[in-house]
């Protein structure tokens, strides 16, 4: 099973200018390497059979005939291979010459795509030798004794994907041919290029490819010529780049003196999901595409076992290095701005927040503090309420009090023990039975206290629940599930810890920083069950519902990418190898799927809160799901793993 991945390659072979036999042999070597690694489609540079820098030699009949003989050599020697190859060569047609891409498979030429935009400025003089596809009326060409479909509107269909081809300068045009090809159904775009070097040009090129692959919601494979091209006036470093929807998957070593093959896998299943979700893409198709493309079917080949070379971050919500600082700053700023607008609009006099000494309430408190500071309001308007219960430990209680004091907010303490004991008497529940009634009564008592204090202080209750808890339904309905504005609602648990640590290290005094760092190191727990005999937390959330790093991984690929459970399991097993065995991953994936569906009713009446990333579970925005949808087909697939 290939899980929607298509293995592609960008080749950068050595060349000798005008030595077609040598070049064909080098191309063959790289096709053989790629085929042996399971590559399904490989692209070579522009005019790779002759070399790009032949200049006026392109007018020589001998060179054109040798180029065709080189193509025949490649066809003959790759006839037994399943791989599809895209080669660059000059193609003669009725007295004109085309700079073309030739698509071949199993000894057959499938189609010819001529270059649309010919650069004729600065160091480029392509119009001196070639004719643009715009000026050609024919839709076929004779090549290697065959009549071959030809045009810039060719789409090639395999069993796994549809792809299109453009050549070098085409990408640099205001409206590249690849844009139209993508709207017509191409999921992977190949560019055969001869891109010379210049200061700053490489970074611009990468940006250009990244943006085009993102705009087209497509894979983009770029192959540009390298060592061996003439250096009379310019230098070609050789670029092999593979992008998917704006993200770089693989790149070669530039300025290499040897041939190279860059390989990666493009997730066309993900691209299809993105296109379905992005209604603008469909609107562009309807408004911009008038002519029908020419569709060419490739030969069906049996799928090989997928040897995935791509790697995946175990924490997809948490970037690495300097990007983490940038992410934390941006997320925190969004939270602060969202809360500020709501406070100003409602003319609230205070922000009331329950402080447990855990990560989520700590982050919400920090957001409140920053918001009040930016608004120029006194921090005394923030009412932090600690509500010790049956499971509160000395560590979390002390951290809650210390943090509120060091931040200078109003501190209130209201024990819930007596109220809950009385409540248990009222409903005839044994206080020694630590069941769901015992736990949820505490959560609802705390919410009632916060709501009443908010009324008392003309304020708003600030919610603390995070995205991961909402996905799992790990909240008491109408308890901690409810607030007047939830600042953490789209922040995943794996990012919450980094946000708190980031604020501690960038914007806190020593006392607050020490408390915050201890909170970061505290096990995650709702503390609804009494502590053990040593006063330690007995109810650890991740022991009950599973590791949040796994659930956030599941959540990202389930919601952001629309992947099925078997594919999520496949990726998780590879990504967390050595950390969790497959049975453990399967167990918690089953929990995720079951709880995600069963707990939707809690998300259907979610308080307002700011969206900070690409995923939100707001029923008014990103996620509209019936509360009574069946999880049967997802759970059945998990059980079959």
Over the chain (641 residues), the average pLDDT of each successive run of 10 is: 93 97 98 96 98 95 97 96 97 96 97 96 90 94 94 95 97 95 97 93 95 98 95 92 97 92 97 94 79 86 82 94 93 98 98 96 98 98 96 92 97 96 96 93 96 98 97 95 97 96 92 94 78 70 87 97 96 96 97 97 96 94 95 97 94
139 Rama sector, left if φ>0, alpha if ψ -120 to 50, beta otherwise: alpha
Is there a single domain that holds both residue 337 and residue 441? yes
Its domain, for residue 90, covers 7-297
Selection from 46, 14, 87, 17 nearest residue 231 by Cα: 17
pLDDT of residue 285: 79
Is there a single domain that holds both residue 266 and residue 369? no
Is there a single domain that holds both residue 382 and residue 273? no
Is there a single domain that holds both residue 388 and residue 292? no
431 is a domain residue: yes
pLDDT of residue 300: 78
pLDDT of residue 290: 67
pLDDT of residue 289: 66
Is there a single domain that holds both residue 267 and residue 332? no
Instruction: Please give the DSSP secondary-structure letter assigned to residue 95.
Output: T
157 is a domain residue: yes
pLDDT of residue 304: 75
CA distances (Å), origin 412, targets 254, 328, 348: 63, 29, 19
Is there a single domain that holds both residue 284 and residue 387? no
User: Does residue 465 contact residue 447 with C-beta atoms inside 8 Å?
Assistant: no
- Tokens representing 626 are 């019936």
303 is a domain residue: no
425 CB contacts (<8 Å, ≥6 apart)? none
Selection from 233, 185, 235, 202 nearest residue 222 by Cα: 202
For residues 618 and 629, what is the distance between their CA atoms, to the nearest angstrom?
17
Selection from 471, 514, 505, 499 nearest residue 616 by Cα: 471
419 is a domain residue: yes
Instruction: Please give the DSSP secondary-structure letter assigned to residue 36.
Output: H
Domain's final residue, options 280, 297, 314: 297
pLDDT of residue 311: 93
Q: Which residues face 241 on adjacent strands?
A: 222, 251
- Tokens representing 251 are 């790149």
Q: What is the DSSP string of 470-505?
A: HHHT-S-TTTTT--SEETTTT--HHHHHHHHHHHHH
For residues 158 and 154, what is the distance between their CA atoms, to the nearest angstrom?
13
The sign of the dihedral angle between the CA atoms of 115, 120, 125, 131 is: positive
User: Does residue 52 contact residue 233 with C-beta atoms inside 8 Å?
Assistant: no
Q: How many alpha carbons lie under 13 Å from residue 9 in its C-beta half-sphere?
A: 29
Is there a single domain that holds both residue 547 and residue 624? yes
CATH number of the domain enclosing 430: 3.40.50.620
Is there a single domain that holds both residue 499 and residue 365? yes
CA distances (Å), origin 99, targets 45, 58, 62, 192: 12, 10, 17, 10
Is there a single domain that holds both residue 270 and residue 387? no
For residues 384 and 449, what is the distance between their CA atoms, to the nearest angstrom?
12
CA distances (Å), origin 440, targets 57, 88, 447, 620: 83, 68, 11, 26
Catalytic site positions: 46, 115, 168
The sign of the dihedral angle between the CA atoms of 188, 194, 195, 197 is: positive
**Confidence (pTM):** 0.90
Beta strands in 215-347 (DSSP E): 219-224, 239-244, 247-251, 260-267, 294-297
608 is a domain residue: yes
348 CB contacts (<8 Å, ≥6 apart)? 342, 458, 459, 460
Is there a single domain that holds both residue 254 and residue 381? no
429 CB contacts (<8 Å, ≥6 apart)? 437, 438, 441
1 is a domain residue: no
Instruction: Please give the DSSP secondary-structure letter assigned to residue 43.
Output: E
314 is a domain residue: no
User: Does residue 580 contact residue 456 with C-beta atoms inside 8 Å?
Assistant: no
Is there a single domain that holds both residue 292 and residue 326? no
Is there a single domain that holds both residue 288 and residue 339? no
The angle at the Cα of 114, spanning 74 to 34, to the nearest 5 degrees, equals: 35
302 is a domain residue: no
The phi and psi torsions of 110 (rounded to 5 degrees) equal -90, -35
Domain's final residue, options 248, 281, 297: 297
Domain's final residue, options 264, 297, 330: 297
pLDDT of residue 223: 98
C-beta neighbour count of 532 within 10 angstroms: 11
User: Does residue 359 contact residue 495 with C-beta atoms inside 8 Å?
Assistant: no
CATH number of the domain enclosing 32: 3.60.110.10
Q: What is the pLDDT of residues 515-568, one digit of tens each?
A: 999 999 988 877 667 777 766 766 677 778 899 999 999 999 999 999 999 999
CA distances (Å), origin 599, targets 93, 596, 606: 65, 6, 12
- Count how many domains the chain has: 2
């Amino acid at each position: 099973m290939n899980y929607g991945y298509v293995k592609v390659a960008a080749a950068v072979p050595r060349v000798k200018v005008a030595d077609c036999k040598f070049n064909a042999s080098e191309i063959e070597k790289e096709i053989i390497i790629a085929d042996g690694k399971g590559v399904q489609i490989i692209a070579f540079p522009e005019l790779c059979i002759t070399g790009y820098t032949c200049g006026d030699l392109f007018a020589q009949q001998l060179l054109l005939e040798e180029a065709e003989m080189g193509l025949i050599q490649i066809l003959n020697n790759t006839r037994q291979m399943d791989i599809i190859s895209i080669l660059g060569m000059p193609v003669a047609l009725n007295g004109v010459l085309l700079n073309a891409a030739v698509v071949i498979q199993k000894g057959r030429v499938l189609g010819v795509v001529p270059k649309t935009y010919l650069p004729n400025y600065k160091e480029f003089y392509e119009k001196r030798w070639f004719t643009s596809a715009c000026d050609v009326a024919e839709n076929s060409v004779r090549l290697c004794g065959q009549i071959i479909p030809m045009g810039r509107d060719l789409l090639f269909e395999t069993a796994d994907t549809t792809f299109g081809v453009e050549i070098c300068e085409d990408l640099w045009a205001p409206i590249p041919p690849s844009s139209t090809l993508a709207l017509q159904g191409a999921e992977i775009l190949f560019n055969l290029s001869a891109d010379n070097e210049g200061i700053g040009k490489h970074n611009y090129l990468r940006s250009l490819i990244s943006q085009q692959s993102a705009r087209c919601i497509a894979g983009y494979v770029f192959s540009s010529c390298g060592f061996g091209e003439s250096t009379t006036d310019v230098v070609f470093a050789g670029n092999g780049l593979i992008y998917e929807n704006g993200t770089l998957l693989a790149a070669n070593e530039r300025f290499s003196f040897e041939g190279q093959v860059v390989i990666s896998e493009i997730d066309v299943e993900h691209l299809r999901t993105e296109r379905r979700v992005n209604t603008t893409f469909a609107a562009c198709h309807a408004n911009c595409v008038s002519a029908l493309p020419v569709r060419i079917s490739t030969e069906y080949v049996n799928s090989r076992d997928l040897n995935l070379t791509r790697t995946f971050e175990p924490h997809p919500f948490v970037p690495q290095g300097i990007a983490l600082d940038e992410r934390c700053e941006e997320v925190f700023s969004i939270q602060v701005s969202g809360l500020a607008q709501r406070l100003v609009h409602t003319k609230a006099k205070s922000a009331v927040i329950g402080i447990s000494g855990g990560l989520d309430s700590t982050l919400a408190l920090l957001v409140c503090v920053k918001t009040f500071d930016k608004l120029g309001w006194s921090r005394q308007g923030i009412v932090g309420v600690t509500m010790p219960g049956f499971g509160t430990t000395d560590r979390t209680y002390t951290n809650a009090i210390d943090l509120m004091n060091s931040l200078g907010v109003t501190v209130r303490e209201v024990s819930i023990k007596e109220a809950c004991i009385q409540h248990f008497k009222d409903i005839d529940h044994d206080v020694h039975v630590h069941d769901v009634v015992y736990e949820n009564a505490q959560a609802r008592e705390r919410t009632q206290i916060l709501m009443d204090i908010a009324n008392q202080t003309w304020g708003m209750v600030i919610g603390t629940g995070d995205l991961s808890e909402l996905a799992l339904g790990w909240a008491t309905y109408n308890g901690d599930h409810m607030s007047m504005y939830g600042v953490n609602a789209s922040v995943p648990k794996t990012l919450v810890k980094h946000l708190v640590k980031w604020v501690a290290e960038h914007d806190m005094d020593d006392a607050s920083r020490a408390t915050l760092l201890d909170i970061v190191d505290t096990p995650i727990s709702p503390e609804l069950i009494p502590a053990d005999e040593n006063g330690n937390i007995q109810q650890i959330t991740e022991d009950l519902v599973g590791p949040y790093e796994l659930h956030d991984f599941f959540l990202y690929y389930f919601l952001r990418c629309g992947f099925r459970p078997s594919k999520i399991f496949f990726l998780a097993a590879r990504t967390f190898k050595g950390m969790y065995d497959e049975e453990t991953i399967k167990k918690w994936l089953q929990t995720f799927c079951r709880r995600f569906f069963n707990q939707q009713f809690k998300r259907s009446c979610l308080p307002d809160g700011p969206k900070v990333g690409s995923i939100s579970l707001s029923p008014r925005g990103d996620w509209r799901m019936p509360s009574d949808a069946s999880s049967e087909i997802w759970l059945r697939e998990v059980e079959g793993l």
